[in-house]
A and B are shown apart, each in its own frame.
Chain A
C-alpha cells in the first residue's frame, strides 16, 4: 500500500466506490465480473449503509457533502463534539440544519420519525419558479385577502356609505319602494352610528 492510498480515512463515499470500480481496482469489485444476483444485492445494500453504524440507514439523512447517515447516529456524533461539527467521512462542516432527510416511498407508513427522539430535521421545500399564470393566481389571492380584512371591521360603516353604488343600481331595481325602504334603513343606521360616535366623544 502506498501512503497516499492509505491516508484516505474511512469507508469511501459511494460515488468514489463507483468510480474506482469502473477504473481498475480489483479488490472488492471482482464480484461484478460474475454478477450473480446475491452479489448485486449486496452491493446495492452497502450503497445505502450508514457511515457510522454500517447498517442500512434508518431515518436516513444526507449531508450537504453527500454522505449518508442514520439520523440517530449522526445526532449522537454531533452531540459528542458540539464545538467541532464535522462530517465523519470527509470532515466538511455539517450541522443539524444542513442535512436533508431522505423519505423513501413507504417510510411514512412505518413510523413518524419525529416521534422518535431526537427529532430528525425537516425537509425544506422551495416553490418552483412562478410562471405568468401562477402570478395571476397570487394576485387574485391578495385581492381576496385585503378585501376580507378591510370589510370585516368596518362592515357597519361600509353598508352606510354605499350610496354611490346603490344609486347606480337604481334602474335595475325591480321594486322602487323596497329601494326606498332600504335607503331609509341605511340612513337610520347612519344616524345611529353618528349618534354612537357622538356619544363616545362626550362620555
Chain B
C-alpha cells in the first residue's frame, strides 16, 4: 500500500505503474505488507496485483485511487468492439467493507458517462444479481468487471430501465439496500 501511495504522488504514467508495481510490491515488500494486513485487505491486495499484472481486455484499474484507499477502487471499462458500446469508456466504483469477500462489494457506475442500458439506472446503480443475492466469495473484482462488461455487450437496445425516474428519486445511496427483483438470467428492478 505504501508503495502504491508513493507511485501515486510521483504521478508516473499509468503504464509505468502497471509494469513496476507487481514486481516491486510482491517480490520485495509483498510479504511484509501482507502480514500487516487483515484478511480482507490481504485478499484485496492479491486481487489488485493480479488485475494489474494480468488485466482482462478493456479493464484497467485506476491505481492512484486504490493507493489512496484500498477499500475504494475506480476501474475503467471500455465498451467492447462490435457492441452498442464500442468506443465508449465507463468508470466503475467498487466499495469494499471488512466483510469482503463474504459480503459483496458495492458497485456503481460513476463519472459523466453512465451507460444507457435496461439494467443500469441513470444514477449509476446496476441491477445485477451477483452484486447482491447471488454473490459468492469465489467471485472477484475481475469476474464482476467481466460480468458487467458482458451485460453491456449483450444489450440489443440502448434504453434506461422503465422505472428509472422513480427509482433515482427514491432510492438509497447504496444500491445493495435496494430490493432487486431478478427476472430470468438478467434483472429488472422494483422496491
User: A residues near B, CB below 8 A?
Assistant: 1-3, 5-11, 27-28, 51-55, 67, 73, 76-77, 80, 86, 88-89, 91
Contact = CB atoms under 8 A, between A and B. Distances in A.
Given A1-B80, A77-B102, A80-B102, A6 B137 contact: no
Given A52-B138, A89-B136, A6 B42 contact: no
A151 to B, nearest CB: 60
A8 B144 CA distance: 10
Nearest to A53: B43
Contact of B54 (A2, A28, A51, A88): A28
Interface string B144-184: 00110110011000000000000000000000000000000
The DSSP consensus for interface residues of chain A is loop
Contacts of A11: 138, 140, 143
A89 B138 contact: yes
Interface in B100-118: 101-102
Contacts, number: 67
Q: What are the nearest 8 A-B pairs in CB distance?
A: A6-B150, A10-B138, A88-B138, A88-B136, A6-B146, A3-B150, A51-B138, A52-B137
A1 B150 CA distance: 7
B136 A3 contact: no
A8 B43 CA distance: 20
A53 B42 contact: yes
Interface in B29-71: 39, 42-43, 46-47, 54, 56-58
A9 to B, nearest CB: 6
B139 interface: yes
B130 interface: yes
Interface residues of B, number: 25
Contacts of A77: 102, 137
A129 B186 CA distance: 50
A7 B57 CA distance: 15
Contacts of A76: 102
Given A51-B137, A89-B138, 19 more contacts: A1-B56, A1-B57, A1-B153, A2-B150, A3-B150, A3-B153, A5-B150, A6-B149, A6-B153, A7-B147, A9-B136, A9-B147, A10-B136, A52-B137, A54-B43, A54-B47, A77-B137, A88-B136, A88-B138
Nearest to A77: B137
A10 B143 contact: yes
Nearest to B153: A3
B34 to A, nearest CB: 9
A73 B137 contact: yes
19 contacts: A1-B150, A2-B150, A6-B153, A9-B136, A9-B139, A10-B136, A10-B139, A11-B138, A11-B140, A51-B138, A52-B137, A53-B39, A54-B46, A73-B137, A88-B136, A88-B137, A88-B139, A89-B136, A91-B136
B58 A1 contact: yes
- Indicate the member of B57, B137, B143, B147 with the most A CB atoms within 10 Å: B137
Given A53-B39, A80-B102, A9 B138 contact: yes
Contacts of B58: 1
A186 B154 CA distance: 97
A51 B46 CA distance: 12
- Indicate the member of B42, B136, B139, B154 with the most A CB atoms within 10 Å: B136
